[in-house]
Amino acid sequence: MANDIKDFGDYSVKNVKSFMGREGLGFNANLYRGKKKIAFCFDDARGGEVDIDWVGGWKGEEATLLEQHIATLPKVQSSYSDMELTIDQGWFVSELVTKWEQEKDLRKMKKQCMTKILFRTPKHKLGQYVIMSATFNGETKAKIQAKYGNDVEIFNEVLAKGETPSVLA
């Protein structure tokens, strides 16, 4: 359920380390409010809860402030039923990590677009795209469109407009 949370407030994660676990992607991350580190978070990817080790203790001020922020967030529509789901601390931190990973991928993609052309066609599977060793310009765009059609998504153009390529959305 990536991208369920739209308002992260002043919260962010840093020093994220991701890994594959038994139940998907796990992570270690430091949780920050503003510039202050407030917790170390760990998801071992075994299907359990996200562990949060608070700097000020389990029911300290920072834990309370995060709970108060989460309480202001709207419920999320379940993709499996008509239920609305309430966001908890673990879900919130997991969404921050997902956002961090997407921003990391976006930075990598922008760097690649400086010297390469990145694009995908409607025939590509979810998350797949082509990296071509060439400089993007009108001529190379015309060649790509001649070969793959006009409905090709060229990430160089998408990023130049300040938008996010579909593979990261």
Q: Which two tokens stand for residue 142?
A: 């015309």
Number of domains in the chain: 2
Instruction: Name residues whose C-beta falls within 8 Å of residue 118's C-beta, 6 or more positions apart in sequence.
Output: 109, 112, 129, 130, 131, 132, 154, 155, 156, 165
Both 134 and 100 in a single domain? no
101 shares its domain with 141: no
The pLDDT, as a whole number, for residue 3 is: 60
| CB distance 43 to 50 below 8 Å | yes
Q: What distance in Å separates the CA atoms of residue 119 and residue 109, rounded to the nearest whole number?
A: 11
Contacts of 128 by beta carbon, 8 Å cutoff, 6+ apart = 120, 167
- pLDDT tens digits, 46-63: 888 999 999 977 778 999
**Does residue 93 contact residue 41 with C-beta atoms inside 8 Å?**
yes
Q: How far apart are CA 140 and CA 15, in angstroms?
A: 38
- Do the domain assignments include residue 118? yes
Together in a domain, 97 and 130: no
Query: What is the per-residue pLDDT for 1?
Result: 41
Please report, in tens digits, the pLDDT of each residue of the chain (169 residues total): 456 666 798 999 999 999 998 888 899 999 999 999 999 999 999 888 999 999 977 778 999 999 999 999 998 988 888 899 999 999 999 999 999 998 999 999 999 999 999 999 999 988 899 999 999 999 999 999 999 999 999 999 999 999 989 888 7
CA distance 117 to 141: 9
Q: Say yes or no: 46 and 92 in one domain.
A: yes
CB 63 within 8 A of CB 71: no
- Asked if 34 and 103 sit in the same domain, the reply is yes
Q: Can you say whether residue 68 is alpha, beta or left, with left for phi > 0 and alpha for psi between -120 and 50 degrees?
A: alpha
Q: Which residue range forms the structural domain that includes residue 84?
A: 11-107
| pLDDT at position 167 | 86
Are residues 146 and 67 both part of a single domain? no
Residue 166 lies in a domain: no
130-132 β-sheet, strand order: 130-132, 117-120, 153-154
Cα distance between residue 130 and residue 46, in whole Å: 33
Flag whether 5 is in a domain. no
Compute CA distances 103 → 54, 96, 110, 116, 161, whole Å: 25, 10, 10, 19, 16
Could you tell me which of 57, 18, 15 has the C-alpha nearest to residue 38? 57
Predicted confidence at residue 4, as pLDDT, reads: 61
Residue 76 lies in a domain: yes
Please check whether residues 147 and 72 belong to one and the same domain. Answer: no
